[in-house]
Amino acid sequence: MTIEYNPDDFKSTEIGPGYKSLLEVSDLSVSFVQYQKGLRQRVLKVISNLDISLGSGEILAVVGSSGSGKSLLAHAILGILPNNAICSGKILYKNELLTPERQKKIRGSEITLVPQSVNFLDPLMRVSAQVRTAVRQGNPEEAQKKIFRRYDLSEGVGNQYPFQLSGGMARRVLISAAVINGSKLIIADEPTPGLHPEIVTETLNHLRELTDEGCGVMLITHDISTALQVADKIAVFYAGTTIEITPAADFHGQGQALRHPYTKALWQSLPQNDFTPIPGFQPLPANFSEGCLFAPRCGKITSECTGSLPVMQDLRSGKVRCHHAT
């Protein structure tokens, strides 16, 4: 991965705890080199000009439909994109550039991932032993026992294999494995897929607890109701970029406080609201155009919209990428 940067842009201005900004992603683009029919290759841009920031003690929910590039953002931060990916832009962690070397060093300790399901665990290893293998410093057994006590996991659970865990237990094991090294930045990629509401709430509360201890949590989900349960800020993804960053509190009523037409449409299509969808679909990366990618589905489209991708602008304590934002 090459990250082009000017060293003057991000000299450490703050040192010590209480980073205002734990993670800052600016102008991130991710492309893939792919084979078309036969031997020709093409470069497919899947994430473009993406900006987000996350402070410690904060939960940022990244909300978008499948194919909007939200998981790729997580992979880019962790440095686990496949080999045919090309990255540009910059990712700052604790105000310092996150280079591939640094990513390798601190992922699993300072930055960690809470995966989607127990399928990410070794199916043939008891969970307590498995959690121990994640420990980087100190006595693994003690660390594992301590974290299991914290998440109310009995020794009996520790002796089980991943497939034996119930939905709620599995969530707790996955979180305990992720935070056992005292990580500061926790990326949860769809941590509650198709789970019962009570388990979802329990898992989200665990994430909230972690931010109370000073961690920053990035919650990646397609489900806006889940995000609203717990997030402070919500970044809405559409077709590979952020179109709006808003305080979670702005999702209320008819969505009048929201800025981007897509966010409003998303809010209104929820079953508890209008349940009336806007027509159309998110474009595929191969069909990305120059202008605003939401334009074909937007009621406010003008010639301005098709020309170039609107820039992110500040609006009412949030940000939006739209010429007609109100």
Partner 1 sequence: MNQLNHALSLEEKPRKIIRFNRRQSTLITILSGLALLTAIIAASFLMSDEAIKTHFEARNLSPSWQHFFGTDWLGRDMFTRTVKGLSLSIGIGLLASTVSVIVALILGMAAATLGKTVDTLISWLVDVFMGLPHLVALILIAFALGSGAKGVIIGVACTHWPNLTRIIRAEVLQLRTSQFVQVSRHMGKSRIWIAVQHLLPHLLPQFFVGLVLLFPHAILHEASITFLGFGLSPHQPAIGVILSESMNYLSVGMWWLAFFPGLSLLVVVRVFDMVGDNLRLMFDPHSAHE
Partner 2 sequence: MQLEAKNIGFRYHQNPWLFRNFSLTLNSGEILGLKGQSGCGKTTLARILAGYEKTLEGRIELGGAPLPKVGYRAVQLVFQHPEKSVNPRWHMRDILQEGWQPDDELLARFGIQQDWLSRWPNELSGGELQRFCVVRALSPETKFLIADEMTAMLDAITQAQIWQAILELAKERDLGILVVSHEKELVKRVCDRVIELDSVHLERNSFIS
Binding site for partner 1 (CB under 8 A): 1-2, 32-35, 39, 41, 81-87, 100
61, 76, 143, 165: which one binds partner 2 (CB under 8 A): 165
- Closer CB to partner 1, residue 43 or residue 249? 43
Q: Name which of partner 2, partner 1, none residue 84 binds, using a CB cut-off of 5 to 8 Å depending on partner kind.
A: partner 1
Residue 185 pairs in a beta bridge with: 111, 216
322: left (phi over 0), alpha (psi -120 to 50) or beta: beta
Size of the site for partner 2 (CB under 8 A): 38
Per CB under 8 A, which region of 4-12, 47-55, 281-289, 314-322 contacts partner 2? 281-289
133, 166, 313, 317: which one binds partner 2 (CB under 8 A): 166
55, 167, 247, 296: which one binds partner 2 (CB under 8 A): 167
Q: What is the DSSP string of 174-234?
A: HHHHHHTT--SEEEEESSSTT--HHHHHHHHHHHHHHHHTT-EEEEEES-HHHHHHH-SEE
- Closer CB to partner 2, residue 45 or residue 102? 45
Helices 140-150 and 167-179, axial angle in degrees (round to 10): 130
Q: Does 275 bind partner 2 (CB under 8 A)?
A: yes
Min dist. Cβ of residue 200 to partner 2 (A): 9
Q: What is the DSSP string of 278-318?
A: -SS-PPPGGG--SS-TTGGG-TT--HHHHHSPPPPEEETTE
Contact set for partner 2, span 216-245 (CB under 8 A):
222-225
Q: Does 271 bind partner 2 (CB under 8 A)?
A: yes
Per CB under 8 A, which region of 10-18, 134-142, 250-258, 274-282 contacts partner 2? 274-282
If you ran DSSP here, which 8-state letter would residue 122 be given?
Answer: -
36, 41, 65, 326: which one binds partner 2 (CB under 8 A): 65
Min dist. Cβ of residue 46 to partner 1 (A): 13
Judged by DSSP in three states, 242 sits in strand
Q: Name which of partner 1, partner 2, none residue 169 binds, using a CB cut-off of 5 to 8 Å depending on partner kind.
A: partner 2
Q: Does 280 bind partner 2 (CB under 8 A)?
A: yes
Q: How many residues does the chain have?
A: 326
Write 227-234 long-range contacts (CB < 8 A, 24+).
Answer: 227/61, 227/63, 228/61, 229/200, 229/201, 229/204, 230/59, 230/61, 230/204, 230/205, 231/59, 231/60, 231/61, 232/58, 232/59, 232/60, 233/58, 233/59, 233/60, 233/61, 234/60, 234/61, 234/63
Cβ–Cβ < 8 Å for 100, 172: no
Q: Name which of partner 1, partner 2, none residue 306 binds, using a CB cut-off of 5 to 8 Å depending on partner kind.
A: none
Q: Does 2 bind partner 2 (CB under 8 A)?
A: no
CA angle (224, 228, 234) in 5-degree steps: 80
Contact set for partner 2, span 174-203 (CB under 8 A):
193-197, 199
Per CB under 8 A, which region of 16-24, 79-87, 241-249, 271-279 contacts partner 2? 271-279
**Positions in the binding site for partner 2 (CB under 8 A):** 64-67, 156, 160, 164-167, 169, 193-197, 199, 222-225, 265-267, 269-272, 275-282, 284, 286
